Amino acid sequence: MPHPLGNRPSKIIAVHLNFPSRAKERGRIPAEPSYFLKPPSSLAGTGDPLNRPAGCELMTFEGEIALVVGRRAHRVAPRDAWEHVGWVTAANDAGVHDLRYADRGSNLRSKGSDGFTPLGPRLLDARGLDPRALRVRTWVNGEVVQDDTSDTLLFPFADLVADLSRLVTLEAGDVILTGTPAGASVVSPGDVVEVEVTAGTATTGRLSNTVADADPLPGWGAMPRVDDAVRADAWGPAHTREPVLDEATATALRSLSTATLSSQIRKRGLQHMTVDGVHPAGGAVKMVGTAHTLRYLPLREDLFERYGGGMNAQKRAVEELRPGQVLVMDARRDASSGTIGDILALRALRRGAAGVVTDGGLRDSAAVAGLDLPVFHAGAHPAVLGRRHVPWDTGLPIACGGALVQPGDVLVGDADGVVVIPPDLVRGLAEDAAEQEAQERFIAERVAAGEPVEGLYPLGPRRREAYEAWRRGGRRTPTEER
């Protein structure tokens, strides 16, 4: 389908970083905006395919708010710049990271291909819009992956127009892609990417494009090239592959109690690795997984709409979950307001989460208890999120129930509570904990038979031979059983 501009613009200018959420993902906040050009031949419309060349693996999407210049702008001041914007529409700044190495910064090969700038499907008249009241959302296969608003921009729209017009004359019809929010990532052939920009009830409609396989590139010039660093950059922080808990170790941990694990952690000199004050909601209790973190800050009414509305950090944390992860929340040990309820807990379950841990309150506790998802909390509470907390950010070290939890830490939970295990200790600790539990089973059998605990508990040298004979008789540790 043709793009909605009619004639081709003389230029398409794209901003590298503009949304704070994206800047946080990239780990830097620019002092001034920076730009790159996309050729007009990259324009496409809704329904046009996003062609990923054969041999490329890292096709990316970036939902954006696009400005279309309405009248010529040359050295206009910021206070007058919005008057030169004619229309607003939705855009997808697509690209292939496989070719970024060849034109680092200019992005010509990676983002300039034919069809890599879909726009539309409708233009909104800028004269009736508040430039700080626009919302951009992106869906991949029907799932929201980006959601942000223009009141958060590092560089407001008028500043961009004024800055560009100092040196580059903007002609009517030129397009400015104003940056993408957090959540941009990789898509594959068959995936459907949709972008919509709204202003109150006004909407551009959904710009919809399907990723398709394309022919391989001819065999001259720069060819696709990727490595782990390029993959991590393309996939983004939500998909950064933290140390994976291998299934054999996870199986061993599921057979071990938190009481035993806590004892072994303490033997290694770590005294504060329990999440205190939390208990299971009911239903599924045993939990083993790696931490994905979410931090709440104290409520400030003037900031709640900005940070608590829309696709806030709480919802992003749930959507960022990968199979085997535990959503761990720092709610400042304040259980007087809910930090998660049945809908988001169900979504976490569908995302493959291994569990949820919050040192705050739990809403809809009866419904959550009925899910096949271990949930540990500090107390049931009916109040909504905005009573005490503002969801602030994800994927950073937090305090939960007095324990410092880093992304990728291993969490184990049962009826006694939750322990935190550093990833580099987990395998050896699991083996030692399995041996400890084998000894304790032997001791329990002897105590049940009427023997006194002196020299038996803990296992003393005089009982070691009997224990070894008991082991040779076929009694195995959980580690050996796997």
Is the four-CA dihedral 134, 138, 143, 144 of positive or negative sign? negative
Which pLDDT tens digit goes with each residue over 336-368? 999 999 999 999 999 899 999 999 999 999 999
Q: What is the mean pLDDT of residues 148-168?
A: 95
Q: Has 79 been labeled as part of a binding site?
A: no
**Spatial distance between the Cα atoms of 310 and 19, rounded to a whole number of angstroms:** 15
Q: Does pLDDT of 140 surpass 60?
A: yes
d(CA 461, CA 443): 13
Q: Is residue 460 situated within a structural domain?
A: no
Domain for residue 262, yes or no? Answer: no
Q: Is the pTM of this model over 0.85?
A: no
Q: What contacts 24+ positions apart, CB below 8 Å, involve 23-32?
A: 23/154, 24/182, 24/393, 25/182, 25/236, 25/237, 29/154, 30/154, 32/155, 32/163
Residues 226, 293, single domain; the answer is no
Question: Which domain range does residue 289 map to?
Answer: 271-421
**Residue 444 belongs to some domain of the structure:** no
460 is in an annotated binding site: no
Q: Would the annotation count 344 as a binding residue?
A: yes
Residues 444-460: pLDDT tens digits?
888 898 888 888 877 78
DSSP 306-357: HHHSSS-HHHHHHHT--TTEEEEEE-TT--SSEEE-HHHHHHHHHTT--EEE
Q: Are residues 232 and 281 in the same domain?
A: no
For residue 232, what are the contacts with CB-CB under 8 A and spacing of at least 6? 240, 241
The per-residue pLDDT for 82 is 97
Under a CB-based contact definition with an 8 Å cutoff, are residues 254 and 437 in contact? no
Classify residue 264: in a domain, yes or no: no
> Which pLDDT tens digit goes with each residue over 66-99?
999 999 999 999 999 999 999 999 999 999 998 8
On whether residue 85 sits in a domain, the answer given is yes
**All residues at 6 or more sequence positions from 49 whose CB lies less than 8 Å from its CB, including other chains:** 115, 209, 210, 211, 212
CA distance linking residue 250 with residue 349, whole number of Å: 18
Burial class (CB in 10 A: 0-12, 13-18, 19+), 77: exposed
Confidence of residue 1 (pLDDT cuts 50, 70, 90): low
Domain shared by 174 and 75, yes or no: yes
363 annotated ligand binder: yes
Tell whether residue 324 is among the known ligand binding residues.
no
- Answer yes or no: do 347 and 283 share one domain: yes
- Integer Cα distance of 404 and 37 in angstroms: 44
How many structural domains is the chain composed of? 2
In a domain, 386, yes or no: yes
What local confidence, expressed as pLDDT, does residue 17 receive? 93
Shared domain check, 140 and 40: yes
Is residue 341 part of an annotated ligand binding site?
Answer: yes
**Is there a domain that residue 468 lies in?**
no
